[in-house]
Amino acid sequence: MAPLPRTLELFYDVLSPYSWLGFEILCRYQNIWNVSLQLRPTLIAGIMKDSGNKAPALLPRKAKYLSGDLKLLAQHMQVPIQFPKDFLSVILDKGSLSAMRFLTAVNLEHPKMLEKVSRELWMRVWSRAAEKAGMSTEQARGLLEKIATPQVKNQLKETTDKACKYGAFGLPVTVAHLDGQTHMLFGSDRMELLAHLLGEKWMGPVPPAAAARL
């Protein structure tokens, strides 16, 4: 019997650009490292509240730094991040509750489409995300109608609570389940350490196999 693949859980919120970086890297490496990648749509606001943390973009000096940092990371990791002009408004007013409930509904109803729909949401085309990912208009409309159901609300809360229990204080968080042990890694810049834990080779944010598909 072939050994079961190691399991990685990625807790993420589309409000977090660093979550997008971690998401793309793990999606690129999941087959190379022979891991089972479990995507976990999570509400970052819930984690911030539970941990007493604050979004770095709310601190002027950090916000100024993040803009340049993300531009460099986007180039280095080949992820098309563009800072929205209304980013602070999105954080303070709109938040990501509806988006993450939508992804939770996708995960419950069409789990195989979660990766594509998540990516499209990061691409800032939220109202057309599901259709661009290959989902029919009827399917997308049905999922939007379900984001207020107790099942979806409870699932998102349970996932967020699970991330908090692992010790999350922000996102992204990658939880590696290896040889009966659990390792929690915060951020998109711990992938080399993750490779070390897995006993695998780190080939940069864009491994050859992924670069060939770009």
Cβ(139)–Cβ(102) below 8 Å: no
Instruction: Give alpha helix (H) positions in 14-149.
Output: 17-29, 44-51, 60-77, 87-89, 97-109, 114-122, 129-132, 137-146
SS3 content of the chain, % helix, strand, coil (to 5): 55, 10, 30
Q: For residue 16, indicate whether it is catalytic.
A: yes
Selecting among 16, 19, 118, 188, the annotated active-site residue is 16
Strand partners, 8: 37, 176
Residue with tokens 């399991």: 7
Task: Tell me which residues are annotated as active site.
Answer: 16
